[in-house]
Structure 1
Amino acid sequence: MTPPKKPTLVSDNLSSPDKLAASLCVGVVGLGHMGSAFAQNLVDSGYKTFVFDRNESKRNACAGAKPASVLADLSVCDVVFSSLPDDTVLSNLSEGSNGLVSVLKEGAVHVSTSTVSPAISRHLSQLHEMNGQGYVASPVLGNPDLAKARKVFFMVAGASGPLSKAAPVIESLGQHVFFMGDDPGHANLMKLAANVMIATTLESMGETLALLRKGGIPTEVGFDVLTNSLFDSKVHKAYGGKILREQYRPAGMVVPLALKDMRLALLEAERSTTPMPFASLVRDRMVAMLARGWDTLDWSALGLLASQDARLPSAQELSDVLK
Structure 2
Amino acid sequence: MNQSTTVVQSSHDETPAKTDVRTLCVGVVGLGHMGSAFARNLIAHGYRTLVFDRNRSKREACNGAEPVAAIGDLVPCDVVFSSLPNDDVLSALTEGERGLLATLKKGAIHISTSTVSPEIARRLASLHALAGQGYVASPVLGNPDLATARKVFFMVAGSSEHLATAVPVLEGLGQHVFFMGNDPGHANLMKLAANVMIATTLESMGETLALLRKGGISAETGFEVLTNSLFDSKVHKAYGGKILKEQYRPAGMVVPLALKDMRLALTEAESSSARQISPGAPTMKEEIQPCSTPTCHAPTTSTTMANCRTDLPI
Q: TM-score, normalised by structure 2?
A: 0.89
Mapping of 1:142-221 within 5 angstroms? 142-221=142-221
Q: Separation in 2 of the partners of 1:57 and 1:130?
A: 35
**Displacement after TM superposition at 1:307 (Å):** 4.5
Contact 1:26 1:78 in 2 (8 A): yes
Structure 1 residues 139-185: Cα deviation after superposition (integer angstroms, max 9, x where no partner): 00000010000000000000111111111101110000000011000
Greater Cα offset, 107-116 or 199-208: 199-208
Structure 1 residues without counterparts, runs of 5 or longer:
12-19
Sort the Cα spacing of 1:46 and 1:290 in 2 relative to 1 into closer, same or farther, 3 A. farther
RMSD: 2.4
Select the residue among 7, 11, 22 that pairs with 1:2: 11
What is the Cα deviation at residue 97 of structure 1?
A: 2.0
Q: 1:242 to 1:52 in 2, by over 3 A?
A: same
CA distance in 1, matches of 2:45, 2:91: 29
Question: Could you state the TM-score of these two structures normalised by the residue count of structure 1?
Answer: 0.87
Who is 2:127 aligned against?
127
Q: In the alignment, is the contact (CA less than 8 A) between 1:151 and 1:175 conserved in 2?
A: yes
Give SS of 1:158's match. Answer: coil
State whether residues 15 and 160 of structure 2, in contact with CA within 8 Å, keep that contact through their aligned partners in structure 1.
no
Q: Which runs of 5+ in 2 are unaligned?
A: 1-9
Does the 8 Å contact 1:255/1:289 carry over to 2?
A: no
Matches within 5 A, 1:58-77: 58-77=58-77
Count the aligned residue pairs. 300
Q: What one-letter code is carried by the residue in structure 1 that aligns with 2:154?
A: F
Q: Which structure shows the bigger proportion of residues in helix conformation?
A: 1
2:260 corresponding residue in structure 1: 260
Partner of 2:225: 225
Contact 1:117-1:189 at 8 Å conserved across structures: yes
Question: RCO higher in 1 or 2 (8 Å CA, sep ≥ 6)?
Answer: 2
Moved over 4 A (4+): 276-286
Q: In structure 1, how many angstroms separate the alpha carbons of the residues matched to 2:79 and 2:142?
A: 22
Hey, what does 2:7 align to over in structure 1?
A: none
Q: Secondary structure at the match of 1:135?
A: strand
| Equivalent-residue separation in structure 1 for 2:282 and 2:102 (angstroms) | 39
Q: Deviation of residue 89 (structure 1)? A: 0.2
CA offset digits 1:37-72 (Å, max 9, x no partner) = 000100011000000001000000001000011111
The answer as to 2:82 corresponding to 1:82 is yes
CA displacement at 1:5 relative to structure 2: 3.4
Residue 291 and residue 133 in structure 1: after superposition, are their counterparts in 2 closer, same or farther (change >3 A)? farther
Equivalent-residue separation in structure 2 for 1:243 and 1:53 (angstroms): 32
Is the contact made by 1:24 and 1:78 (CA closer than 8 Å) also made in structure 2?
Answer: yes
SS of the equivalent of 1:185 reads: helix
How far apart are residue 272 of structure 1 and its match?
1.4
Letter in 2 for 1:100: L
- Seen in structure 2, the aligned counterparts of structure 1 residues 253 and 285 have a Cα distance that, compared at 3 Å, is farther
Deviation readout 1:270-300 (Å, 9 max, x if unpaired): 01112255997555554324755345x8x8x
Percent of aligned pairs sharing the same letter? 66
Q: Deviations over 1:177-232 (max 9, x none)?
A: 00001100000000000001111111111111111111100000000000111111
CA contact (8 A) 1:28 1:52 kept: yes
Map of 1:31-110 to 2, 5 A cutoff?
31-110=31-110
